[in-house]
Amino acid sequence: MSWTRICEYDAMLPERGVCALVGGVQVAVFRTHEGTLHALDNLDPFSGAYVLSRGIVGTRKGEPTVASPLHKQVFSLVSGRCLDEDAVTVPVYPVRVAAGGVEVGVS
């Protein structure tokens, strides 16, 4: 796995997503109010559009989530599982802070 620096940690606003091209993959990266980072594929599997980074961040039963801005399906930021349609998932990616920057790992 290789790590790609996408931005400074302090530049990320809580509860807002950013999109970055990492190893040819569009990745949606989120920072929660608690400061935790999550990264998942930016492709909404229901619409086929690359929009999850523009989704609404929230929680469901204590689990951090993002709702697609198009059809409002809710995805776990932890597992990528769609909480409205169990058979659907989006890939998740490792994300970390290194030297003040946010890095995403893609195989």
Q: Which fold has domain 2-106?
A: Rieske Iron-sulfur Protein (2.102.10)
pTM: 0.94
Statement: residue 10 has pLDDT above 90: yes
**Domain coordinates of the chain in residue numbers?**
2-106
Q: Residue 26: what pLDDT?
A: 97
DSSP characters for the chain? Answer: -EEEEEEEGGGSPTT-EEEEEETTEEEEEEE-TT--EEEEESB-TTT--B-GGGSEEEEETTEEEEE-TTT--EEETTT-BBSSSTT-B--EE-EEEETTEEEEEE-
Please tell me the predicted confidence (pLDDT) of residue 31.
97
pLDDT in tens, 35-93: 999 999 999 999 999 999 999 999 999 999 999 999 999 999 999 999 999 999 999 99
